[in-house]
Amino acid sequence: MTTMTQQGGAFLVNTTDPRRVFTPEDFTSEDLFIGKTAEDFLTNEVMPHVERIESGDHELMHQLMQKAGALGLLGADIPEVYGGLGLKQTVGALISEKLNPQQSFALTHEAHTVIGTFPLMYFGNDAQKSKYLPKLASGEWVASFALSEANSGSDALAMQTKAVLSSDGTHYILNGEKMWITNSAFATLFSVFAKVDGKITVFLVERDFAGVSFGKEEHKLGMHGTSTRRVILENAKVPIENALEVGKGHYAAFCALNLGRFKLEAGAVGGLKYILKICTEYAKQRKTFGRPIASYGMIQHKLAEMAARTFALESMVYRLAGELDSVFEPIVPNAEDAPSQYHRAAEEFAIECNIVKVLGSETYSTMADEAIQIHGGYGYTEEFPVARAWRDQRLLRIGEGANEIVRFAIVNLILRRDAAKRLTALDAGQRASETLSRPGSLDMPYFDDPVDSLFAAAQDAKTLGLFFLYQAKERLGEELMEMQEIPAAISDIFIAAYALESVALRLQKMTARNHPRLVAALRAAAVVQINYTKEAIHAANYLIESLPSLEDLLDVYADPFNSLTGLMGRLNSHGINPMEARRELAAEVIERGGWML
């Protein structure tokens, strides 16, 4: 299938053709077979050993990674020329989804296959890739990503680790200490970030290099099965041929983290489906006052929320995966210009990667908490897997960039691309401002068709976000990014718009194909529309109250369907009964025993 090739962030100002958007219904039988291989591996090889994994048996985890490598589950993204499978981003996302129900294994897998491997794969030369990538693809070696330091968490560019070229020019000498390094108990190859004359550079550091040592295991809230230690570099000697291009390390970090955010939230789709299944099964068999708790409206509300928010995230993740394929597929991995091509591809959809990261991690967090609530007292014990899911998922709002930083980055990237003439967001925001100040500019929407209704809501949310982006930039100028709450709220509107539009595009394709589970999808979409229009309006109200001197734009004309207030009113006029919509979706979930599609 040919996926869309529009520029990253362009969804804000362009119309997207649904025929060129990838959805889960587009997977081929071969793709699904690979997904089933990952699912079977998790079921048969990983889940029977959960107690040992959670006790911190790192030797077992290493063995599981080697087994995964033998099945090709570590080489999905690595090109065939370097010993991998060279699969599409969509299939790589499917593997991440299927492995997530054991989150410690999933994080170990992601730390190896994504952030541990991508700096080398994207920015290494042919000799470096030929030497190391086949070992990483097979599982013979395990990779790790060593960026964070004690005093430079989200501000990675403030790192203190330094590298100095030896007097004979044969090697670099590294000194510094890296923190929170996943896979450190058994990883063989570390992508270590250090400064050479102030310029961030990536070094391929083997475990046995002189001067490399490790701290003790960190005592973490969750992810108990992962190995997390400090990597200590004391006059560590690294051959000069193991340095990637000097001064390009910040590109390698940002590109790896972009794709890491995407892959983590592809995994979150699988984790959410898993806890939905567990909660549905429990609700059907657990009785109070002589009735299964699944028959109560409040429990049905929670099950419907899990299903609808998972449906939205799944639609967003695979839409983004298809977009990533459009920029990665043309790259010749062993070409001389491959690093520059990979760099462009990995940063192109950074806005969307950030959007998915925020929504996915926060959805997982909220729904894992609700899973405990459904289980009541049992959910608060380690006897049920929802307690582990709750502890483990909490990392996702911090890892690969804290959500506060990521929200800020969404608006920052949009403004930077606008300044570079790669986006026309501010022009669109100015047009929205002119339209909303003109009486009679808004018509009553037509909501009879649910897909049209969803598209209309997505467009209105985009208009709302662009309006506030323009107004904030005009009123605050360079101070905008210092008032972080403002860009964060604008980001929330754009996140809601991407969710609404992704679901609308998916529904349009399912409708055209008369998909057998279309009714269930429509019921999920109704709850999606309720939730994400509400979130856009909530962020807009915050901005109205917080932005200076906005009163002049809040005139309400005789016709209620014009002006900013009218736009927000139209977003909220979806005509959907929230209780009925959630109960209808919950019925689908209960009947199917979990995921309704």
Taking only the tens place, the pLDDT of each residue in 462-495 is 999 999 999 999 989 999 999 999 999 999 999 9
Topology of the domain comprising 424-592:
Butyryl-CoA Dehydrogenase, subunit A; domain 3 (1.20.140)
Query: What does 384-422 look like in DSSP terms, one character per residue?
Result: SHHHHHHHHHGGGGTTTS-HHHHHHHHHHHHHHHHHTTS
Give me the chain's average pLDDT, please: 94
What is the token pair recorded at 133? 């990538």
DSSP code of residue 281:
H
Q: What is the pLDDT of residue 434?
A: 84
10-142 classified as CATH 3.20.20.30: no
Confidence of residue 5 (pLDDT cuts 50, 70, 90): very low
Does the structure show a pLDDT above 80 at 152? Answer: no
For residue range 80-93, what is the model confidence (pLDDT) as tens digits?
999 999 999 999 99
Max mean pLDDT among 444-453, 498-507, 545-554 falls in 498-507
Residue 126, pLDDT above cutoff 90: yes
Residue range 259-283: mean pLDDT, rounded: 98
Q: Which listed residue (400, 501, 535, 588) is catalytic?
A: 400
CA 102 – CA 245 distance, rounded (Å): 36
Between strands 199-206 and 291-292, the pairing is unpaired
Instruction: For residue 454, give the H/E element and its range.
Output: helix 450-476
Residue 153 has a pLDDT of 65
Could you give the dihedral angle defined by the CA atoms of residues 473, 445, 579 and 505, in that order, rounded to the nearest 10 degrees? -70
Tens of pLDDT, residues 6-31: 789 999 999 999 988 999 999 999 99
Residue 553 predicted with pLDDT over 60: no
**Around 161, how many Cα atoms within 13 Å sit in the side-chain half-sphere?**
31
Instruction: Report the length, in residues, of the chain.
Output: 597
Please report the pLDDT score of residue 547 as a whole number.
81
Quick check: 555 pLDDT over 90?
A: no
**Mean pLDDT for the stretch of residues 450-468:** 95
Give DSSP secondary structure letters for 512-560: HTT-TTHHHHHHHHHHHHHHHHHHHHHHHHHHHHHSTT-GGG----SSS
Q: What is the pLDDT of residue 440?
A: 64
For the chain, give the percent of residues with pLDDT over 90: 88
Contact 56, 108 (CB under 8 A): no
Helix (H) or strand (E) holding 251: helix 249-285
Eight-class DSSP state of 112: I
| 448 compared with 115, residue with greater pLDDT | 115
Plot region of 204 (φ>0 → left; ψ -120 to 50 → alpha; else → beta): beta
Residue 562 has pLDDT above 70, yes or no: no
**Which is higher by pLDDT, 557 or 253?**
253
The mean per-residue pLDDT over the stretch 346-365 comes to: 98
**Domain coordinates of the chain in residue numbers?**
10-142, 144-242, 249-404, 424-592
pLDDT at position 439 is 66
User: Looking at the predicted structure, is the pLDDT value of residue 4 above 50?
Assistant: no
Task: Give yes or no for a contact between 181 and 144, defined as CB atoms under 8 angstroms apart.
Answer: yes
Q: For position 19, what pLDDT does the model report?
A: 87
Whether 400 is a known active-site residue: answer yes
pLDDT tens digits, 174-184: 999 999 999 99
- Residue 240's pLDDT band, with cuts at 50, 70 and 90, is very high
Measuring CA to CA, how many Å separate 461 from each of 6, 395, 571?
A: 20, 29, 7
Q: What is the DSSP letter of 101?
A: T
* Confidence band for 572, pLDDT divided at 50, 70 and 90: confident
Which of 473, 469, 446, 454 has its CA nearest to residue 523? 454
Average pLDDT score over residue span 54-77: 98
Mean pLDDT of 421-434: 94
| pLDDT for the residue numbered 550 | 65
Cα dist from 422 to 164, 246, 297, 418, 433, whole Å: 38, 28, 48, 6, 21
pLDDT reading at 104 higher than 60? yes
Q: Which residue from 143, 142, 144, 145 is spatially nearest to 66, judged by alpha carbons?
A: 142
* CATH number among 2.40.110.10, 3.90.1150.10, 2.40.50.140, 3.40.50.1000, domain 144-242: 2.40.110.10
Average the pLDDT over 454-464 and give the result. 95
Q: What is the pLDDT of residue 263?
A: 97
pTM summary value: 0.96
Closest CA to 529 of 453, 460, 469, 474: 453
Note whether 351 and 413 are within 8 A (CB): yes
pLDDT, one tens digit per residue, over 284-308 is 999 999 999 999 999 999 999 999 9
In this prediction, residues 126-152 reach a mean pLDDT of 96
Burial code of 246-279, b = ≥16 C-beta within 10 A, e = fewer?
A: eebbbbbbbbbbbbbbbbbbbbbbbbbbbbbbbb
Is it true that 10-142 and 249-404 share their CATH fold?
Answer: no
Q: Is the pLDDT of residue 165 over 80?
A: yes
Work out the pLDDT band at 448, boundaries 50, 70, 90. confident
In 28-125, where does DSSP find H-type helix? 29-41, 50-54, 58-70, 89-99, 103-110, 118-123
The fold adopted by the segment(s) 249-404 is Butyryl-CoA Dehydrogenase, subunit A; domain 3 (1.20.140)
The average pLDDT across 155-162 equals 85
* CA separation for the pair 171, 155 (Å, rounded): 28
Q: Are 594 and 474 in contact (CB under 8 A)?
A: no
β-strands 143-146, 189-196 pairing: parallel
